[in-house]
Structure 1
Amino acid sequence: MSFKSNKYSIESTDYQIGQDNVNKFGMDVHNTVFTVSVGLSILFIVALLALSPADAKAAIDSVKGAVLSNFDFLFMWGANLMLILAVAIVFSPLGKIRLGGDSATADYSMLSWISMLFAAGMGIGLIFWGVAEPTAFYTNWFGTPLSVEPFTPEGRELALGATAFHWGIHAWAIYGMTALCLAYFVYNKGLPLSMRSVFYPLLGDKVWGKTGDAIDILTVLVTLFGLATSLGLGGTQAASGISHVFGLENDIFLQQFIIVLIMGLAIFSVLRGMDGGVKFLSNLNMIIAFVFLGFIAVLNFTTVLDSLATAISGYVKNIIPLSQTSGRDDTTWLHGWTVFYWAWWVAYAPFFGMFVARISKGRTIREFLLCVLLIPTVVTTAWMSIFGGIAIEQVVDKVGQLGIDQGITDVSLSLFYMLDAYPLGNILSVIAIALIIVFFVTTLDSGSIVIDGMTAGGKLEVPERQKVVWVVISGAIAMVMLWIGGTQSIQALQSITIIAALPFTIILLLGCVSLIKGLLTEVGQTKITDKVNKAG
């Protein structure tokens, strides 16, 4: 494995990405990362069975609260710095560098590529929080952003603006910079697709030893726990929707059945490969989502236009105040929402980054960053403002269940309560349930691809059965947690993921430093080549 530039020359013989590690079970794995990751996952499941869910959640939440309160500046400024760096790279000569070299071509069309961005990134979050979050901010459900007065026009503007802020350009900067770090070192320097590769310029050959193993194992566990958390929360929301629409009892058996269904569909998708599986489902997701969004928008055209304008205004006017930690008196809201979100995006960034890196060969860095930063921000802002604006209008006009409750009482049912106000509410709810399930299938599919690649030493092509292993493990963790402690256990796992985001924020910032070192070698090499050509 070589990594050469005009500034330094790196030669490593201890870690061969192309080595044959296929064992007697037909598995092609990095023995240390795979074995330790699987072992710790099983140990975690066993520990869950032995502990009281309520006691475990209380202890873990205490640690999570301390992390969010004491390190809020790190999460907030980490996101700010990654955004500033992303914008700087876009407008610098470094933006001209093409992932994979000057002759590389894109493997996927722009539309399919963007569809997969959403499927792996935030698709399911839009369904879960599109109604709940703006309504929560407007009605003072656990605080309001910047201590704005609830149930006021100013409160509405800031509710929509703060929601767009949470799902907007800062979040995609965290995702985008992580993906860029990985894509650059994989396609331009020939290193394995794993987090350890990002730190080659800083750590040298240590990344092929125990230090690199530790980075990859931590990445695997954070990704795995994040997937299991999402799967558990998605299972409960889909179960709530099915129970609400069809009158079935929302019990543990329905939730487990939905998770098994998602696992089965994900396994089928995995076995069909990237093009026949996650690419196809991602495109299908986007078609259903935009038809769904368009139908809702047509039914509420005037409200939608006003909500879009209000959300954009609230976002632009408050982006700087919302990005700061000092001088604020809404610290409870800040820690419970913004800092929590930033930590969650960091925890999810390795998963998203590796998947997007895998599908982004052939694009220039400028094209890559502009698309990752702007297109999802525009779409998420539109989605949140449309659904959030309609929900807030129902609260104001006392329409439907949201109007009766004057806000949300059950996050998992908030979308369905909003849809109930329409004559075709049941049909729309069925579409929403289908969208939730398909989004989770693509998330689990892409997540298994990422984890499998990491535990295989960063290889891009590995036996399909390994991906199935990680689909099953992710689903098993979610099912066991729901079985022993319901949503309390899932929330405890989510808290563990948030705690793990603390060291990962530092890792990602160091990764950005490493990326700049790598990119500068490209500039230096280009200058040398130009001089040689002129001399010739």
Structure 2
Amino acid sequence: MRETTPVFYISIVIAILFIGWGVIPESVWPQFHLAQVSAAIQDFLVHKFGWFYLLAATFFLIFCITMIFSKYGNIRLGADDEKPEYSYRTWFGMLFSAGMGIGLVFWGVAEPMYHFYSPPVGEAETAEAGRVAMRYAFFHWGLHPWAIYAVVALALAYFQFRKKEPGVMSRVLYPLFGERVNGLTGIAVDTLAVYATIFGVATSLGLGAIQISGGLSHLSPNIQNNLTTQMIVILVVTILFMLSAQTGLNKGIKILSDTNVMLAVLLMVFLLFAGSTNFIMDVFTATLGSYVQNLPSMSLRLRPFEQSEWPRVWTIFYWAWWIAWAPFVGSFIARVSRGRTVREFMIGVLLVPTIFSALWFSVFGGSALYLEMFEQADIMNTMNELGIEMALFSVFNHFPLSTILSGLAILLICTFFVTSADSATFVLGMQTTNGSLNPSNSVKFTWGIIQAATAAILLWTGGLQALQTASIIAAFPFTIIMIFMVISLLHSFKKEMIVKKK
């Protein structure tokens, strides 16, 4: 543990304090309970600075697209003659699994259904509501979130592999702040990144445990979807991802990422051809065109004259959530992207996951809408009665081999679960050991235990929603840090081109 930095110890103290705060029953301290305080702060930020999140996310997307066509696109994230460390298949699998794999499984059916029954514009439960529902699912899981990840990942990869700086957030800001990043300013930036990662991933672990528990209860009436089952799931998955974390990046995470992609494609292809294939592919094609056509207006939609809360509840919440996840996903994508050019990196990180997400929502969300609109399947009622986590399994009930499909889905959730947690222990290890490319097993073990304990304790006390809100609060200051990252990158790119010309 001698390689650890002050960020390691400060972050552990913060994690323990937040866990302790979340465990305190609301009846003991109603006005200052974690859920109340975090919700009040988040509500203030969303209502006062919702426009800022929209403008920032759109700015990051414009920056990423500009990089593809700019003269900086040929800059390599490493030495000029360096080759990529991983094949395209492994690279895409790794960045996708860490980025949003478990979220797609959780929301693939549920989000389009919510938008169908409560659309941002127009009348609910109509053909137009179905079109809008799919378009916004593409929007929330498409180019914007991956642009947010790409900004952080590009900055870290460039400074770490090209400029030979330590792979921590603060070092990216060195061109702007100089030696101050080696003092309190740097510690504050790195601690914020670790804070967002711990609580963001812990929230996802809790949500994953809930869905696995729901799936197991769906498969077997003897297994109840309750707290005990969820705790057992967390314990088993913790053991699995801790074992995986000890094997290193090139074994555990690499194998799991390849497995994730294989299982996801298998499920998606089966549902595509077992269901209404023409309807699903028509939905994909039409929605893709509609998404591209409406991207500018959706990117800046707030509806102030209608006093609508919909953009704040969905779009702004999502942008804050993706920004809060950016330190974790960005760090991991940077680590596995060594040797690629800026242009290759941006095309890969922006387009491939976006197209896959669009296909995923078309297959799963499109199937759910087809069943709901044309076969009166009542999937929404199942979600309302049994929970959001049952949405996917309720769709499987309308297909052949539903038990096998549910079993494969649970296995996919487990592998995504393990990959996300494994990747997070790796990233937390990097960020608290001054950017070490191979943090020690003891450091990764420590972070693995903290993540699992955070998810388990707050699931037990009902504080998981409070933790999610608390993690999203980190998005506001980190958005400002990301803007500085873009300025720092442009400054360094410009300087490098001047040196090359000379």
For the superposition of Structure 1 and Structure 2, which TM-score range results when normalised by the shorter chain?
over 0.9
Matched, 1:49 2:26: no
Distance 2:67 2:438 in 1: 31
Q: 1:450 aligns with which of 427, 445, 451?
A: 427
Matched, 1:265 2:240: yes
Q: 1:296 aligns with which of 247, 271, 274?
A: 271
Report if aligned partners of 1:106, 1:361 keep a CA contact under 8 Å in 2: yes
- Residues 111 and 367 (structure 1), Cα distance of their counterparts in 2 relative to 1, 3 Å cut: same
Matched, 1:251 2:210: no
Q: Secondary structure at the match of 1:149?
A: coil
Matched, 1:172 2:146: yes
- 1:13 is aligned to none
Distance 1:108 1:313 in 2: 32
Distance 1:61 1:412 in 2: 23
Report if aligned partners of 1:228, 1:475 keep a CA contact under 8 Å in 2: yes
Report if aligned partners of 1:161, 1:315 keep a CA contact under 8 Å in 2: yes
Distance 1:131 1:314 in 2: 20
Letter in 2 for 1:269: S
Letter in 2 for 1:525: V
Q: 2:372 aligns with which of 395, 404, 409?
A: 395
- Residues 513 and 334 (structure 1), Cα distance of their counterparts in 2 relative to 1, 3 Å cut: same
Q: 2:454 aligns with which of 472, 477, 487?
A: 477
Unmatched tracts of structure 2, length 5 or more:
none
Distance 2:281 2:335 in 1: 37
Q: Aligned runs of 1:164-313 on 2, under 5 Å?
A: 164-247=138-221, 248-300=223-275, 301-313=277-289
- TM-score scaled by length of structure 2: 0.96
- Residues 97 and 130 (structure 1), Cα distance of their counterparts in 2 relative to 1, 3 Å cut: same
1:392-444 superposed Cα distances (whole Å, 9 cap, x missing partner): 11111244341766988621111111111123111111111110011010000
Q: 2:489 aligns with which of 505, 508, 515?
A: 515
Letter in 1 for 2:388: V
- Residues 109 and 49 (structure 1), Cα distance of their counterparts in 2 relative to 1, 3 Å cut: same
Total equivalences in the alignment: 495
Distance 1:72 1:138 in 2: 24
Q: 2:398 aligns with which of 421, 425, 428?
A: 421
Report if aligned partners of 1:398, 1:406 keep a CA contact under 8 Å in 2: no
- 2:498 is aligned to 524
Distance 1:294 1:256 in 2: 32
- 2:389 is aligned to 412
Letter in 2 for 1:263: T
Letter in 2 for 1:158: V
Unmatched tracts of structure 1, length 5 or more:
1-21, 529-536
- 1:336 is aligned to 313
- 2:409 is aligned to 432
- 1:92 is aligned to 70
Q: 1:490 aligns with which of 464, 468, 477?
A: 464
Q: Secondary structure at the match of 1:121?
A: helix
Report if aligned partners of 1:162, 1:314 keep a CA contact under 8 Å in 2: no
Query: Cα offset for 1:34?
Result: 1.0
Distance 2:467 2:270 in 1: 36
1:159-210 superposed Cα distances (whole Å, 9 cap, x missing partner): 1011100100111111111100110010111110100011000110111111
Letter in 2 for 1:343: A
Deviates more, 1:148-157 or 1:360-369: 148-157
Distance 2:244 2:172 in 1: 29
1:459-505 superposed Cα distances (whole Å, 9 cap, x missing partner): 112211211111110000000101122xxx11110001111111111
Letter in 1 for 2:452: G
Distance 1:418 1:325 in 2: 31
Distance 2:302 2:281 in 1: 34
Letter in 2 for 1:470: W
Deviates more, 1:170-179 or 1:302-311: 302-311
- 1:352 is aligned to 329
- 1:19 is aligned to none
Letter in 2 for 1:253: T
Distance 2:44 2:308 in 1: 13
Matched, 1:137 2:115: yes
- 1:58 is aligned to 36
Q: Secondary structure at the match of 2:474?
A: helix
Report if aligned partners of 2:215, 2:393 keep a CA contact under 8 Å in 1: yes
- 2:88 is aligned to 110
Query: Cα offset for 1:67?
Result: 1.1
Distance 1:149 1:382 in 2: 26
Matched, 1:71 2:40: no
Distance 2:420 2:329 in 1: 10
Cα RMSD (Å) of the superposition? 1.6
